[in-house]
Structure 1
Amino acid sequence: MIQEPVNAFTHRFRLIAAGIFVVAAILYFTALGKTPLRVNAEIRCHDVIANMLERSDYIVPIYNGQPRFHKPPLFYWTVAATSKLVGGFNLTTLRIPPALFALGVLGLILWWGKILGTQREALLAMALLATTYMFVLHARRGSFEMLLTLLCNLSVLLLYLCVQKPSWLTGLGGTLAFGLAFLAKGTPALLYVPLVLFVWLALSHRLRMIFRWQVGTLAVVGILIAISWHLYVIAFRPESRQTIFSELLLPAGVKVGETSSAQHREAFYFYLVNIWRAAFPLSLLIPLTAFHVWHKRGYPPERPERLLVLMVVVPFLVFSSIPMKQDHYLLPAMPALALLSARAIFDVITQCAQLSRKWVTVPVLVTCIILLIASPVVVLGLVLVGDWLRILAVMVGLLCAALGVAGLLALRRAATLNGLGIALIGTALVFWCYFTVIRPVEDGFGSGRLFSDPTYLAQKEAWDQKFERYPLLRKLLDVDRGLKRSKQIQKPVPDEW
């Protein structure tokens, strides 16, 4: 494969990168505070932060009147700081930090592209990651996952550079990022940083490096940063020591004791099944990426791609082996998967092998067909759920269909990359319609919070007519479940503190 010069940051490269950032920002920030709270993790984060701001106590999280030590407080602090900065706490300020962290992860993709020695792959990886469903979902959700993803990937990148070219500055940066990653969510940081690096060094026959005094010093610094908050709680909250120890000893930061509220037990094949939906459309390229990595025999030990492979494989195997599983546990592995997928795509295209090209054309074909199917669904969603003017909704639907057709025509001309780019633009458009127009109403009904909203009460008769005419719409919006949950909601979410 012919690589581009590492430092050849051309005007076109910068323009395309800026365009991806702009599209991603529109996708992540539009109507960010419009979606009501529904997911338990986000509800807990909201209530903990509101309590912190009300009490001006940022050390011990309080939830439902009780100290909550299930997760370290770094994410709470970032939202509290954002709220102080803008002068108020609401759903928008709760979700601004994850959206910014998501843009930061896309920036790390560019940095990895410089290390790998190619611009085109970095741009493609950015586009793939930016439009992955799981990534978009957590970029718009006020929870820990995107902060963990940013810090884990930053730590691995800096520590890789430190191994390749020893430097106290990059080493300290990497250990600081790891310590903060642990402060963001706890033990998952151990799986994505120290464990991955340990396996990488072992397979590269460089494990003796960990016995150097410089490495030991950096490890001590990272550990002290990681457990600084826990040490404080142990020292000044003696009644909480047993809880803290139980949390630290459990993998993935999930407590399985009797007092836990977060048990997510699934079968060992959970990720093999759910990854296709959660990571769409990036997941469609997993067969190609696996074939590519197998063909390269996992890459030579000295290549950075070997580390990227381990960033995907090691957490996947570990999380598959433990009983507690959720889709977002694999979110920090998505940047590495996007980079490997982009490399695999360009490798296949430059080889010009007809059989291999099908590994790329089939995912693009599937995505374009989905865009065509989604076109009328988007129109109906914008009209029935979003109350858009029909002409505007039809125009958006036609644009989705046009992008699907354009992608298919590009495949017919053997312009695979063009087809993939068009398909990703169409995916971004569909996700924008869903997350900014349909998802707020869906979560509003599903959470039961919309039933007490004055806007809904003023339009209740119109909604009842819609549900009577379209029974499937009532089911898709989770109305019946929301009616049950609405009785359990004791108080509405305050707009500001």
Structure 2
Amino acid sequence: MKFAHLCLLFGVSVRNNKLRDEILPMETNRLHAFLKQHHLFCILVSASIFLFFFELGSRSFEIKDARRFAEITQEMIQGGSWLVLHKHGEIYMNKPPMLMWLIALFSSIGHQVTPLTARLPSAIAGFSSILVIYYFTQKFYNQRAAFIAAIILATSHRYFWYGRSAFPDMLFTLFITLALFSFYLGYKQNKEFYIGMHLSMFFATLTKGPLGIIFILSIIVAFLAFQRNLKTFKELKWQWGSILIIIMVGICIAYCLKVGFEPFITAIKREFLTRVNKPVNNGEPFYYYFVNIWADFLPWSLFIPLAAIYAYKKWRLGDEYITFIFCWAILVFTILCVAKAKHPRYMLPLYPALSILMAALIEDTLKESVILPSWLRSSVRWIIFTMIGLTAILLVIVPAYFFNYSWVGIFVSLIILLIAMKVFFFLRQKNGLVNMYFAMCMLITVIGWGIYVHCLTIHSRNETFGTKLTYAIEKDLGDLNTYHICGYELGGSLWNIVNMSLNMYVPMINSIQELKAFMNAPDHKPLCIVEKKIFEKIKDYVLDDSLNTLSVCTTKRQVTLIFKRNNHTDSMRPVYFEIPDIKN
């Protein structure tokens, strides 16, 4: 019986091994077939993850607006008020709460707002917009054009930068993009997609107010007017829009019951109407974006005028998809130019449309389609040749710049250049010259942004004020939790940096009497942070034999820490960090 049982087990084992040997090649073949069919999508996902998430949380909070939204979220988590936002204990009504809610959601895992959790909503929104652009361009154009559009968008200067920053504009761009493509899907295929348009408008309003509705509906009306089909506007499932409007009104009423109707109306006028007519800040002339877009959309800026001409020609020929994207670009750009309040990040909703128009032009050039006028195609080719020439120069110069010893940098540059040439000549056998040049431009742009991010990370760790302040306190004074920390007449910008760097709300002292009482209180271990120029004025009134100081200085910011003298710090002398403080 035992022998028969062993034979049976052996037979089952052999059969299982045969099945495994048959299944494994099948799975491998399926994976190979998937990668072959979707290789551009896999490359896009890998490149986008690298661009938006590589060392995302490594930089400290040094940018004004990034600190503002992070600190509001920190107060929201600590105070438990998720509807009415606060900044420094005062009600904050300048922006809707969507970004802060998402930051709080990610920060709730570790119960604190960090540079990573503050930037995650923007990074996820930027990555999601890339996938949305790829999906819809592939659906209504072709796969290679979709890949080119997504890569152009991901590697454009401002889109890449704000995808790694704690601002609401990237979320706003995602919802605008989803709303417009949901409309187009409903218009071309199934009217049920109009529900997605209304939901996206709802979330866009929760992110930046009524501007999202103006952008979306203006583009839709302009497109339907061009198509001479305005009657479709009545078929956009407005019952769903009405439901969402009722929900939005309910949220506003609940908000007004807490803060009052008059402050709410004043905030709406200030943030919406005043920014259009007489902005308090960011006021610029109407031609501001005509000048700035060339730097903001690097390295693809040279394609902008050619893409505009190409889109106009396609509209005249009746290309419906390009007409829709062209309306998107023109309406957003026009509205932004009319509004007197201007900022580079306000342009983000334009960039998806601009990327698609460029991709369509480049795709037609690469596959040598007939493009009228004929000089458009030759111009695109020459721009690609120019870009690859500049790329070759950077391949030689950049490594030599990064290494301390010039001969090492030159050697590395030559090795990189030889490898690039070898790859180029190998791939040229299978692809056309212009195709290969453009592929190398995209690849090196992705790598270049990665190097840039890493350089910023190194700078933030070694040279920014917030990082140095935390390092100085922890190294020379010990555990922060053992101190009762306050600030004395810190400026708003510096106070924000201190709060976010120390991950706590630092209360303010505004008189010398209060400062002396705080430093001499017997029931706690005091630590006061004072700007150095103010400390020089008050030190004769405050310091005594029981106190010691520690100075942390950079080029732009200098503070003095006042704390109780302990036995192990009797011989301590002021410590100075003289480090360039470059705003990243």
Do the structures match in fold with TM over 0.5?
yes
Given that residues 68 and 496 in structure 2 are in contact (C-alpha distance below 8 angstroms), is that contact kept between their aligned partners in structure 1?
no
CA 274–379 in structure 1, closer or farther in 2 if over 3 Å, else same: same
Deviations 1:378-426 (A, max 9, x none): 3366447xxx999699748964796599779999995212211111111
Change (3 A) 1:381 1:352: same
Q: In the alignment, does 2:370 pair up with 1:362?
A: no
Alpha-carbon shift at residue 364 of structure 1 (Å): 2.0
Opposite residue 418 of structure 1, the aligned amino acid is M
Q: Deviations over 1:146-189 (max 9, x none)?
A: 11111110011112222234533x22221011110111111331
For 1:127-276, list aligned pairs within 5 A.
127-168=151-192, 170-212=193-235, 215-226=237-248, 229-238=251-260, 240-247=263-270, 249-250=272-273, 263-276=281-294
| Equivalent position of 1:493 in the other structure | 500
Match of 1:296 among 302, 311, 314: 314
SS at match of 1:62: strand
Q: Deviations over 1:43-99 (max 9, x none)?
A: 111111111111121111111221111111011111111112455421111111211
Question: Aligned residue for 1:45?
Answer: 69
Larger radius of gyration: 2
Is 1:422 matched with 2:440?
yes
Task: Quote the Cα distance in structure 1 between the aligned partners of 2:340 and 2:461.
Answer: 28
Q: CA contact under 8 A between 2:123 and 2:163: conserved in structure 1?
A: yes
Q: 1:334 maps to what in 2? A: 351
Secondary structure of 2:108's match? helix
Distance in structure 1 (CA, Å) of the matches to 2:421 and 2:502: 40
Identify the residue that residue 146 of structure 2 maps to in structure 1.
122
Aligned to 1:89: 113
8 Å CA contact retained: 1:285, 1:341: yes
DSSP-derived class of the 1:250 partner: helix
Q: Tell whether 2:52 aligns with 1:28.
A: yes
Tell me the equivalent position of 1:277: 295
CA distance in 2, matches of 1:455, 1:228: 49
Q: SS of the counterpart of 1:37?
A: coil
Describe the shift of the 1:225–1:122 C-alpha distance in structure 2 as closer, same or farther (beyond 3 A). Answer: farther
After TM superposition, the structure 1 = structure 2 runs for residues 384-463 of structure 1, keeping only pairs within 5 Å, are 395=412, 399=416, 403=420, 415-438=433-456, 441=459, 445=463, 448-452=465-469, 454=471
Query: Given the alignment, which residue of 309, 318, 324 partners 1:307?
Result: 324
Is the 1:139–1:146 contact (alpha carbons within 8 Å) kept by the matching residues of 2? yes
Residues 303 and 380 in structure 2, CA contact (< 8 A), matched pair in contact too: yes
Distance 1:371 1:63 in 2: 45
Tell me which residue corresponds to 2:342. Answer: 325
The answer to whether the 8 Å contact 2:399/2:410 transfers is yes
Point out the structure with the larger strand share.
2
Deviation at 1:221, TM superposition (A): 3.1
Which residue of structure 2 lines up, in the alignment, with residue 54 of structure 1? 78
Aligned-partner residue type, residue 232 of structure 1: A
2:67 touches 2:496 (CA, 8 Å); kept in 1? no
Structure 2 counterpart of 1:469: none
Matched, 1:348 2:365: yes
Q: Secondary structure at the match of 1:311?
A: helix
Task: Classify the secondary structure of the residue corresponding to 2:202.
Answer: helix
Contact 1:403 1:426 in 2 (8 A): no
Equivalent AA in structure 2 for residue 231 of structure 1: I
Deviations 1:91-126, CA, capped at 9 Å, x for gaps: 111111211111111110122124314111111111
How do 1:461-480 residues align onto structure 2 when only pairs under 5 Å count?
A: none
Alignment RMSD: 3.6
* Higher alpha-carbon deviation: 226-235 or 54-63: 226-235
Which of residues 99, 102, 105 is equivalent to 1:75?
A: 99
Partner of 1:378: 398
- Aligned mate of 1:287, from 290, 302, 305: 305
Which protein has greater RCO, CA pairs closer than 8 Å, 6+ apart? 1
Cα distance change of structure 1 residues 97 and 241 upon mapping to structure 2, 3 Å threshold: closer
Q: Which sections of structure 2, spanning at least 5 residues, go unmatched?
A: 1-32, 476-490, 505-584
Unpaired segments of 5 or more residues in structure 1? 1-8, 459-483
Counterpart-to-counterpart distance in 2, 1:486 and 1:155: 36
The Cα shift of 1:143 comes to 1.2
